[in-house]
Amino acid sequence: MSNVSETPEVRVRFCPSPTGTPHVGLIRTALFNWAFARHVGGKVVFRVEDTDAARDSEESYESLLEALRWLGLDWDEGPEVGGPHEPYRQSLRRSVHEDIAKRLFAADELYESFSTNDEVEARRRAAGQDPKLGYDNFDRDLTDEQKAAFRADGREPVLRLRMPDSDITWTDLVRGEITFKAGSTPDPVMVRANGVPLYPFVNPVDDALMGITHVLRGEDLLPSTPRQIGLYQALQRIGVTGFTPEFGHLPTVTGDGNKKLSKRDPQSNLFHYRDLGFLPEGLLNYLALLGWSIAEDNDIFSVEEMYAAFDIAKVSSNPARFDLKKAEAINGTHLRALPVEQFTSAALPYLAADGVLPAEPSAEQVAQLAAIAPLVQERLALLSEASDMVRFLFAAEESFTPEPASAAKALGPDAEPVLRAAIDSLQALDEWTTEAIQDALKTSLVDGLGLKPKKAFAPVRVAVTGRTVSPPLYESMELLGKDRSIGRLLRALGAA
């Protein structure tokens, strides 16, 4: 304990492998790592574990970067920003790994193992044991003669880690003390016979080399921690690192069942939520709630507030189910809290994607959008819902048709006198304002025809906006303009 005075800076890492699209569980892990580091002013290392040639892809790598950028989760070292431990793409670190493996082998921390799976299984059975117990450490003390005999047979050895013969215990940052009994983890393969180092080797080695102090990862990795610690101890003995990091195992994010949200499940795709119209801050807020809470009586917070308050020790150890409804509600409150200009520009790409507006709207369209934005902002939970709300405003008159379901509800034969009266009173207006429209409609329909407001306005609403659900009617009509509004009423009348 001579070095106690030096308090190493906190360094966490986010080390996904680029297979498929970014998973919300993965992002939750990234978020917690990020918040943990930011809370204490530590560093975030982003390392890409692209050593599975069969499954990794460049597109997937790009989408990982895109996902983190979209969410605003930044990193201090890694792709595109560099850092003192380059390279940060694991596939480029092969020679480093081979060198460490060589040193570990020279120190007898790694040993040559020739056993085939069949042989291991046969020995387990012969001993009356369950073959599922795995490797039996048979090759630990092979003599040179035995090894030579295997080689003479044409067999090439894998390299296995000599696991410690003692219990392995650590204090998990989220779960407390965890112990695995000595002998419960068979000596794991670290390097293939063909010389390719494997994930269980390369991941801890890179963590050690990069000075990672805290490993926060999914609960599914918990059973692999003993071999990780075993490797770390060996690495310390040969002087590659001076310490073993702290571990914290985050609860699983589950889907509708209580099983881990599958990579295949569309619900697990981060971009699915962006497409639905989640705001980065809304999604992040919800993700933060999966295993953590900022306070007993508050669920709504910004990323800044999150990392300011984040405490890994307060993370729950229960699996958390992804609840879309709650996520939407959280997003809705972030959406409503946005300054209207920001809401408008956030909604624009969705409107363009739905063909409601061109990608480059005209000045007039921009003005119209700005005018209606405050009316729709408070009735959305997701940006993708904006299209149906405002489509009527931007639709060309020739192509405008009320939605069939809404028309069936409100534009039946009963609607005829209502529409007629509405048209008459509106045509008489010389001033086209919300107030004037409201007065005209109220006097002609409610007072004049003696209808209940609900009955009176439904046909007008559907005729003008095309839907039974719309932004406020009078304001909508004012924005639409007198000619277009009355034109739509006339056409509805013709169809009624």
Partner RNA sequence: GGCGUGUUCGUCCAGUGGUCAGGACGUCGGAUUCUCACUCCGGAAACACGGGUUCGACUCCCGUACGCGCUGCCA
Strands 320-321 and 253-254: parallel
Q: How far is the CB of 62 from RNA (least distance, A)?
A: 17
Cβ-based neighbours of 274, under 8 Å, separated by 6 or more: 70, 283
Cβ-based neighbours of 168, under 8 Å, separated by 6 or more: 179, 180, 182, 185, 225, 226, 229, 230
The candidate with the shortest Cα–Cα distance to 200, out of 131, 132, 101, is: 101
Cis-peptide, bond into residue 413, ω within 30° of zero:
no
Pair of tokens at residue 287: 């993700």
Q: Which of 109, 139, 206, 219 touches RNA by CB under 7 A?
A: 219
Is residue 402 helix, strand or coil?
coil
Q: How far is the CB of 24 from RNA (least distance, A)?
A: 13
Q: Which of 170, 292, 301, 310 touches RNA by CB under 7 A?
A: 292
Q: How far is the CB of 324 from RNA (least distance, A)?
A: 8
CA distances (Å), 272 to each of 3, 44, 267, 383, 473, in order? 49, 26, 7, 13, 33
Is 17 among the residues that bind RNA (CB under 7 A)? yes
The string of DSSP codes covering 462-494 is HHHHSSSS-S-HHHHHHHH-HHHHHHHHHHHHH
Q: How far is the CB of 157 from RNA (least distance, A)?
A: 8
Q: How far is the CB of 463 from RNA (least distance, A)?
A: 13
The C-alpha angle with vertex 355 and arms to 332 and 480, in degrees rounded to 5, equals: 80
**Complex with RNA: residue 318 or 427, whichever CB lies closer:** 318
From the list 147, 263, 452, 482, the catalytic residue is: 263
**Complex with RNA: residue 77 or 219, whichever CB lies closer:** 219
Q: How far apart are CA 60 and CA 483, in angstroms?
A: 51
Pair of tokens at residue 78: 């890694």
Residue 283 near residue 328 (C-beta atoms within 8 A): no
Q: Which of 20, 87, 164, 200 touches RNA by CB under 7 A?
A: 200
Q: Which of 96, 98, 105, 178 touches RNA by CB under 7 A?
A: 178
Is 443 among the residues that bind RNA (CB under 7 A)? no
- The response to whether 263 counts as a known ligand-binding position is yes
Binding segment (CB under 7 A) for RNA, from list 206-214, 235-243, 423-431, 453-461: 453-461
**Complex with RNA: residue 4 or 132, whichever CB lies closer:** 132
Q: Which of 3, 95, 143, 298 touches RNA by CB under 7 A?
A: 298
Q: Is 314 noted as a catalytic residue in this protein?
A: no
Q: How far apart are CA 301 and CA 333, in angstroms?
A: 10
Q: How far apart are CA 401 and CA 414, in angstroms?
A: 19
Q: Which residues, numbered 375-414, are part of the site for RNA (CB under 7 A)? A: 378-380
Binding segment (CB under 7 A) for RNA, from list 81-89, 137-145, 231-239, 328-336: 328-336
Q: How far is the CB of 1 from RNA (least distance, A)?
A: 27
Is 166 among the residues that bind RNA (CB under 7 A)? no
**Complex with RNA: residue 11 or 461, whichever CB lies closer:** 461
CA distances (Å), 134 to each of 47, 117, 121, 288, in order? 31, 9, 8, 38
Is 180 among the residues that bind RNA (CB under 7 A)? yes
Is 293 among the residues that bind RNA (CB under 7 A)? yes
Is 222 among the residues that bind RNA (CB under 7 A)? yes
The string of DSSP codes covering 288-330 is HTSS--SBTTB----HHHHHHH--GGG---S-EE--HHHHHHH
Q: How many residues bind RNA (CB under 7 A)?
A: 85
**Complex with RNA: residue 8 or 223, whichever CB lies closer:** 223
Pair of tokens at residue 169: 């215990």
Is 302 among the residues that bind RNA (CB under 7 A)? no
Is 151 among the residues that bind RNA (CB under 7 A)? no
Q: How far apart are CA 462 and CA 371, in angstroms?
A: 20
Q: How far is the CB of 138 from RNA (least distance, A)?
A: 12
Binding segment (CB under 7 A) for RNA, from list 75-83, 128-136, 230-238, 352-360: 128-136
Active site residues: 263
Binding residues: 263
Residues in binding site for ATP? 263
